[in-house]
Chains A and B, each alone.
Chain A
Amino acid sequence: AQSVAQPEDQVNVAEGNPLTVKCTYSVSGNPYLFWYVQYPNRGLQFLLKYITGDNLVKGSYGFEAEFNKSQTSFHLKKPSALVSDSALYFCAVRDPWGGTGGFKTIFGAGTRLFVKA
């Protein structure tokens, strides 16, 4: 079965320090990987995606992610964290439904990021 795993429920980092939010995947074939962010009482917002090409993907708000095929990982990173980055982050993979056609998005359980001033 296709899946993504976020091994950390919570990540704590001091403002100004680099941050990493981890994601590993298990899919057959080429993965289509995404990161979304959710602020309190809001819907999810798209941050970035990897489809093909350069392994380092740049996205919104200064975030980037590195696709590593050998380690089946797609970790989210930012060189210098801001207090306003505190939110819930979801890794996701988009995969075919199968018999019904179309595609489904499989979300990880989410990682809560706390950035302390």
Chain B
Amino acid sequence: DGGITQSPKYLFRKEGQNVTLSCEQNLNHDAMYWYRQDPGQGLRLIYYSQIVNDFQKGDIAEGYSVSREKKESFPLTVTSAQKNPTAFYLCASTGTERSETQYFGPGTRLLVL
């Protein structure tokens, strides 16, 4: 899983609660991404950040928020506005060149109580 760590591995959310998923990388990558994966499905982009203090919405940003205060960190908050948060969340990072691969963290599985 490269030099990217995600925590926790499993997360339980109660209704109305905001929860934050951690993502840290030591690859010195500028770009970082959050994806959502539903069972047996592909990846959907939630948010991405190409540089510190800047981030953009992806395809399914509603109900989520992010911050990018440090190059190595890109936490994702799943807010109470996200009505169907149960999914597998993947963080990734990559360098700035088009030829560079994406490195993925091990994922966080979010479950609703």
Contact = CB atoms under 8 A, between A and B. Distances in A.
A90 B55 CA distance: 25
Interface size classification for chain B = 20 to 34
B50 A49 contact: no
A43 B41 contact: no
Contact of B98 (A45, A103, A107, A109): A103
Interface residues of A, number: 27
Contacts of B42: 90, 107-110
A45 to B, nearest CB: 7
Nearest to A95: B98
Interface in A80-117: 90, 94-97, 100-105, 107-110, 112
Interface string A24-54: 0000000010101000011111100101000
Interface of B: 1, 4, 6, 31, 33, 40-43, 45, 48, 50, 56, 88, 90, 92, 94, 96-107, 109
Interface of A: 32, 34, 36, 41-46, 49, 51, 90, 94-97, 100-105, 107-110, 112
